[in-house]
Amino acid sequence: MSGVLLDSLAAWWPEVILSAGALVVLLTAVWSKRGQIPLILSWVTLGASAWALTQTGVSSNAPFFGLIVCDGFSLLFRWIALGSIAITLLMIMASQEVRASMRGEYLAILLLMGVGLMLMVEANHLLMAYLSIEFVSLSGYLLVGFPDNARAAEGALKYFLFGALASAVMLFGMSLLYGMTDALLFPELLQKIQPAAAAFPQGVLLAVILLLVGLAFKISMVPFHLWTPDAYEAAPMPVAALLSVAPKAAAFGLLIRFLSTLAPLWQDLYPIFSSLTILTMTLGNLVALAQTNIKRLLAYSTIAQAGYLLIGITAGTPIGVQALVLYLIAYLFMNFGAFACAVAVVEQTGSESLDAFRGLSTRAPVLAFACVLFLLSLAGIPPLFGFMGKFFLFGAALQAGQTLVAVAAVINSAIALYYYVNIMRLMFLQSAGEAQALQPVPALHLALGVCALATLFFGLFPSSVLSWLGPIRLVL
Amino acid sequence: MIALLFIPGVPLITAVLLLLFGRRIGKASAWLTVLALASTFFMTIALSDLVFAGNRIGFSWVWLSQASANWTLGLSVDGLSWVMLVVVTSIGTLIALYSIGYMHHDPRFSRFFAYLSLFCASMLGLVMADHFLLLYACWELVGLCSYLLISFWFEKSAAAEAGRKAFLTTRIGDTGMLLGILILFWSSGSLQLGNLAQVRQTLDPHVLTLISALLFFGAIGKSAQVPLHIWLPDAMEGPTPVSALIHAATMVAAGVYLVARTFPLFTPESLNLVLGIGLATHLFAATIALTMTDIKRVLAYSTISQLGLMMTALGLKAMPLALFHLCMHAFCKALLFLGAGSVIHGTHQQELEHLRGLRHFMPLTWITFLIAVLSLSGAPFLSGFWSKDAILLQAQHTMSWVFWSLVLGALLTATYLLRLYLRCFHGSPSSDAKHAHESPAIMTAPLVLLAIFAAGIGLVGSPWMHHLFFRIIGVHEMHEGIEIGMVALSAALVLGGFWLAWQVGFRRRQLLPASLRPIGQWLYQAAFHKYYVDEFYDKAILQPFYAATRAFSRFDQKVVDGAVNAAGSGTWRLGQWKERFDRLIVDRAVNGVATATRNLGLLPRLIQTGIVHPYLLMIVVAIVALAVGVIASQ
């Protein structure tokens, strides 16, 4: 038994380092009130974990008695999780909302969330999946509600209420599924789902639907998106950025794994997915058009982006999944970038209104230029990274014969341009008036620089990213 | 041939330099741009031997090797793109030169030239692209530059709005184009522009029709064809050199170039679509041009109309003729716009009301403008004559109703151009005209050079030079000799146009019999208001769309609020009771405890706002609906 555990650890060092580091950060916070030491320790932990991840090989055997898998697919998503945590850390350093005195606890929760995110994409067992989702959700509620003010508390409580409902429903679905298939491990589930579906055709479907609700909630799929704008609005800006990318990416990873386990049922599930895909992007874009608060606008924008990502699942082909992962990587950079711009503006003007962007091109030219890059990439204008992702996603839909989804997506990306261009118009084509020049702090500059460089570079030369997608062999 | 990279590369690097160090470079940035564009022109000329020999020069690099197919992006120059290169680089250089004078006093002088260089780089990339994806990227980049340049004077709210309108309207067309590219990719597996003829062999005709119609949809947006023409007249809010280069000579012609480049994909059905849209645009815009009173707007509608003529030629399967007209039109229209710019520069007026009798004060502008007007009207043996004549001949041989429509269009063209010319340069000088002065040499020199082109460049497509132009783009069978009948017809059309312009446009005579005048007046008003297309879009599409957006937003933020309102207000009252209780009893008793209560009180306050439980209810309803839906559909 201990032999198995030791062997399993070999593939799991990044998570171990991250957990241990989080605990150390938590302890040092007791002594360090200025928050410098926890910050440095967090970076050291992240660095060590990343180093351990480079050393981790892809193994076919499942460690910890099959509870998790460390294949190429989860490896890619573990990198996405680490990357999001790192960029969030940079943004927290630039943010006043997270005060230095509470940094220690904050950073510890952030690092622990990283462990949860990694577990989510490694989960190979229904209970493991449930626990990891809960892990991520709970740390999410804490991160939203941590600042000592009423708005944050309200937002966190709302977020928690929705999340609790969703995970209760999901757990119910899991228990039903377990009851009907007598399997918890994914590979077993894959074998037993067919006979179970034959025995209880409606019961199995019901269980799967309930189970998927929990994930739909995490990726803000319409109609389970209602928490999104409220939670983002209440959360500190860096946390909103984190929530818009990391749990979503992990949930997509888990969703793909679930669906490949439930492949025999795909025929029955796909009509829901295709209609909800169209609904998600359309609703997100249409509502985003009417927003005047930057956080709410970005929240609806992320809902619409989730709709684009769902196309990869709806297509139901290996190419669709690859396109999804490609777009997810693009989304990581461009969405974090857009939020980082918003952090810079909100931090210095104290206003979350879109008007705070007025005349940004004269107040902070580099920032405005980077912001245009992210917005155009989100809108899918070539030759940026976002366009490449969209191109493959829409193409995958067409290839899978989902013409309606592809047409809706293309039309949606034209609609979305309107509100992205509107921000650009405010930045470039409006005079700054009385507003002050902006000088973002170095940490934020670094975050912006990394995101901008990636958005531009991978758009021009996507070859390198595509080579990472090679090992993804999950087929729906 | 790696040297091909220099053609878009040099202006691109110039643009980056100017964007980064524009302020430090100052006035020299203009000369840097001129130098960069001139060098691209000479590089293009240096390629002429290879191109004339019928070669296709290419340079490509493997861009993606992991995707299902190897994607090799590349630049290539064949006759078709070489001709476009010459047009873009020569006109671009002259317009950059002209802008030095025109933009002289502008505070964002170097920024202007940065955008101009970036535009030229993207346009050159578009023309040379050997792969649909590269073409699409450049296509969007020219759109972006056009947006930046239209709204260059963003202090004017009309300019900022016009830029946005242009960007978004052309994007509608681009969505179609992107779909076309995607369908082409998945049905043929190749996005190389070089082997479209082979692709045609492998595809089903219906799929081809679909693809080509979608690609044409992109061209409709970019080339301002009906029904997406609305952005081009508004784009005139930009600086005049921009109108000349982007919105007359080059970018708007990209749609025509796209159709010409992908011509092998077009089926008879989709060519009929091209013909119909082109012809409708040609006539529709010409009638509006007759009524406009702003010098740049007349030219804008004229551009739309001429682009329609090019599309008509494409629809008649006469791709080389469309391209020939594209080139001739580019020179004439650039000259017309620069002439208009010179007038605006000299008088600070662009309304025809305030412009009269300028020929005494701006002689060079006058002469060059006259040459452009006559050439574009199709006066025999000037450049515009050769291209228009060839299209008319082609129409005569294929469809007579198209021929007669084009004759009408040519008459309208001559009329509105000569009306514009007469009202600007003839008559007794207006008060603004009296203060006018001829523009500086840096502006008139490009005018003179362009006038030489506008008068004589057409000869390269004439029988007198054995159709050199057509041989360059690879067409060897052309009708030799000149049809005297056609020459006479063209001359008659120009004279007829002149007579109409003189009588109605200039001397304001009523030619219609009294009984028909109300109808004439009604038609005039309709054309003057651009057939109310903008208003129609606003009422029928935009307003309902915005209303829907707001409705969605409200619904999303306060779902089923109405249904729970009663319950909500009840809870709210309860909460008030609780708060009063807090204040009267607990608060007075123990202050410390009260703070704690207030913090705890967050929960009831939340429920009071009536937001949480409708949301939760909505989720439950959604889950039930989904489950029922799936199970029922099984």
> Is A167 strand, coil or helix?
helix
Positive or negative: CA dihedral A421, A423, A428, A429: positive
Neighboring chain B residues of A425 at a CB cutoff of 8 Å: 151, 160, 164
Nearest to A296 by CA among A252, A235, A246: A235
Tell me: the pLDDT tens digits for A106-131? Answer: 899 999 999 999 999 999 999 999 99
Residue B245's Cα: distance from chain center in Å? Answer: 11
What chain B residue is nearest to A463 in terms of C-alpha separation?
B64
Cα of B576 to nearest chain A Cα, Å: 19
Residue B65 touches partner A, C-beta closer than 8 Å: yes
Mean predicted confidence (pLDDT) in B208-233: 93
Nearest to B111 by CA among B210, B43, B23: B23
Neighboring chain B residues of A158 at a CB cutoff of 8 Å: 606, 611-612, 615
Residues 183 through 212 of chain B touching chain A, CB cutoff 8 Å: 183, 185-186
Is B549 within 8 Å of A286 when comparing Cβ atoms? yes
Is residue B534 predicted with pLDDT exceeding 50?
yes
Please name the member of A165, A268, A417 whose beta carbon is closest to the beta carbon of B168.
A417
What is d(CA A89, CA B413) in angstroms, rounded to the nearest whole number?
64
Is residue A368 predicted with pLDDT exceeding 90?
no
Please name the member of B151, B602, B619 whose beta carbon is closest to the beta carbon of A150.
B602
Q: What is the ipTM metric for this complex?
A: 0.81
pLDDT at residue A104, as a whole number: 81
Is residue A391 predicted with pLDDT exceeding 60?
yes
Cα of A432 to nearest chain B Cα, Å: 12
pLDDT at residue B631, as a whole number: 78
Under the banding of pLDDT at 50, 70 and 90, the label for residue B34 is very high
- Enclosing H/E stretch for B62: strand B57-64
Cα of B602 to nearest chain A Cα, Å: 7
What is d(CA A124, CA A66) in angstroms, rounded to the nearest whole number?
7
What is d(CA A9, CA A178) in angstroms, rounded to the nearest whole number?
28
Which of B190, B543, B612 to mutate to probe the A interface, most A CBs <10 Å? Answer: B612
Looking at the DSSP assignment, which residues form a beta bridge with residue B72? B62
Tell me: the pLDDT tens digits for B7-20? Answer: 999 999 999 898 88
Is A226 within 8 Å of B618 when comparing Cβ atoms? yes
Under the banding of pLDDT at 50, 70 and 90, the label for residue B576 is low
Neighboring chain A residues of B559 at a CB cutoff of 8 Å: 226
Under the banding of pLDDT at 50, 70 and 90, the label for residue B125 is very high
Mean of per-residue pLDDT scores for chain B: 85
pLDDT at residue B285, as a whole number: 94
Mean of per-residue pLDDT scores for chain A: 88
Residue B482 touches partner A, C-beta closer than 8 Å: no
Q: Which of A277-281, B25-29, B527-531 is most confident?
A: A277-281
Mean predicted confidence (pLDDT) in B484-489: 88
Mean predicted confidence (pLDDT) in B382-402: 90
Mean predicted confidence (pLDDT) in B112-132: 93
Is A209 within 8 Å of B175 when comparing Cβ atoms? no
Is A226 within 8 Å of B559 when comparing Cβ atoms? yes
pLDDT at residue B583, as a whole number: 57
pLDDT at residue B601, as a whole number: 45
Tell me: the pLDDT tens digits for B181-216? Answer: 999 988 887 888 888 888 888 888 999 999 999 999
What is d(CA B18, CA B16) in angstroms, rounded to the nearest whole number?
5
Mean predicted confidence (pLDDT) in A177-206: 90
Q: Please answer whether residues A304 and A288 qualify as being in contact, where contact means their C-beta atoms are separated by less than 8 angstroms.
A: yes
Is A382 within 8 Å of B622 when comparing Cβ atoms? no
Q: How many Cβ atoms from other residues are within 10 Å of residue A378's Cβ? A: 28
Neighboring chain A residues of B548 at a CB cutoff of 8 Å: 286
Neighboring chain A residues of B183 at a CB cutoff of 8 Å: 398
Mean predicted confidence (pLDDT) in B237-264: 91
Neighboring chain A residues of B65 at a CB cutoff of 8 Å: 463
Mean predicted confidence (pLDDT) in A212-216: 90
Residues 534 through 593 of chain B touching chain A, CB cutoff 8 Å: 546, 548-550, 552-553, 556-557, 559
Residue B503 touches partner A, C-beta closer than 8 Å: no
Is residue B152 predicted with pLDDT exceeding 70?
yes
pLDDT at residue A252, as a whole number: 95
Tell me: the pLDDT tens digits for B424-438? Answer: 888 888 877 778 888
Residue boundaries of the structural domains of chain A? 265-476
Is B65 within 8 Å of A463 when comparing Cβ atoms? yes
Neighboring chain B residues of A388 at a CB cutoff of 8 Å: none
Cα of A170 to nearest chain B Cα, Å: 11
Instruction: Count CA atoms closer than 13 A to A398's CA, side-chain side.
Output: 24
Counting every residue, how long is chain A? 476
Which of A159, A225, A265, A286 to mutate to probe the B interface, most B CBs <10 Å? Answer: A286
Nearest to A236 by CA among A379, A110, A95, A67: A95
Is A205 within 8 Å of B630 when comparing Cβ atoms? yes
Please name the member of A154, A271, A381 whose beta carbon is closest to the beta carbon of B606.
A154
Mean predicted confidence (pLDDT) in B578-585: 57
pLDDT at residue B341, as a whole number: 92
Is A210 within 8 Å of B623 when comparing Cβ atoms? yes
Mean predicted confidence (pLDDT) in B375-381: 91
Mean predicted confidence (pLDDT) in B56-81: 78
pLDDT at residue B557, as a whole number: 66
Is residue B608 predicted with pLDDT exceeding 60?
no
Under the banding of pLDDT at 50, 70 and 90, the label for residue B606 is very low
Q: Please answer whether residues A171 and B624 qualify as being in contact, where contact means their C-beta atoms are separated by less than 8 angstroms.
A: no
What is d(CA B309, CA A286) in angstroms, rounded to the nearest whole number?
38
Residue B624 touches partner A, C-beta closer than 8 Å: no
- What secondary structure does DSSP assign to B223-251, as a single string? TT-TTSTTHHHHGGGS-HHHHHIIIIISG
Please name the member of B548, B623, B634 whose beta carbon is closest to the beta carbon of A202.
B634
Nearest to B191 by CA among B127, B133, B136: B133
Q: Please answer whether residues A25 and A107 qualify as being in contact, where contact means their C-beta atoms are separated by less than 8 angstroms.
A: yes
Q: Please answer whether residues B180 and B215 qualify as being in contact, where contact means their C-beta atoms are separated by less than 8 angstroms.
A: yes
Backbone angles phi, psi at B435, to 5 degrees: -90, 0
What is d(CA A73, CA A78) in angstroms, rounded to the nearest whole number?
9
Is A202 within 8 Å of B631 when comparing Cβ atoms? yes
Neighboring chain B residues of A161 at a CB cutoff of 8 Å: 612, 616
Is B66 within 8 Å of A467 when comparing Cβ atoms? yes
Is B618 within 8 Å of A283 when comparing Cβ atoms? no
pLDDT at residue B558, as a whole number: 63
Under the banding of pLDDT at 50, 70 and 90, the label for residue A94 is confident
Is A429 within 8 Å of B163 when comparing Cβ atoms? yes
* pLDDT over 90, % of chain A: 43
Under the banding of pLDDT at 50, 70 and 90, the label for residue B65 is low
Under the banding of pLDDT at 50, 70 and 90, the label for residue A462 is confident
Residue B172 touches partner A, C-beta closer than 8 Å: yes
Q: Is B348 left (phi over 0), alpha (psi -120 to 50) or beta?
A: left
Under the banding of pLDDT at 50, 70 and 90, the label for residue B561 is very low
A and B: number of Cβ contacts within 8 A:
156
What chain A residue is nearest to B621 in terms of C-alpha separation?
A223
pLDDT at residue B564, as a whole number: 42
Backbone angles phi, psi at B224, to 5 degrees: 55, 50
What chain B residue is nearest to A165 in terms of C-alpha separation?
B616
pLDDT at residue B571, as a whole number: 54
pLDDT at residue B374, as a whole number: 94
Neighboring chain B residues of A230 at a CB cutoff of 8 Å: 611
Is residue A43 predicted with pLDDT exceeding 90?
yes
Looking at the DSSP assignment, which residues form a beta bridge with residue A68? A123
Neighboring chain B residues of A157 at a CB cutoff of 8 Å: 602-603, 606
What is d(CA A263, CA A193) in angstroms, rounded to the nearest whole number?
9
Residues 589 through 608 of chain B touching chain A, CB cutoff 8 Å: 599, 602-603, 605-606
> Is B53 strand, coil or helix?
coil
Tell me: the pLDDT tens digits for B285-326? Answer: 999 999 998 999 999 999 999 999 999 999 999 899 999 999
Cα of A14 to nearest chain B Cα, Å: 29
Neighboring chain A residues of B61 at a CB cutoff of 8 Å: none
Is residue B567 predicted with pLDDT exceeding 50?
no
The 3-state DSSP composition of chain B as helix, strand, coil percent (nearest 5) reads 80, 5, 15
Query: Any residues with CB less than 8 A from the CB of A61 and at least 6 apart, and which?
Result: none
Neighboring chain A residues of B137 at a CB cutoff of 8 Å: 382-383, 387
pLDDT at residue B611, as a whole number: 60
Tell me: the pLDDT tens digits for A407-455? Answer: 999 989 888 888 898 888 888 777 776 667 777 788 888 999 999 999 9
Q: Which of A98-102, B264-268, B394-398 is most confident?
A: B264-268
CA geometry: angle at B247 spanning B196 and B320, to 5°? 35
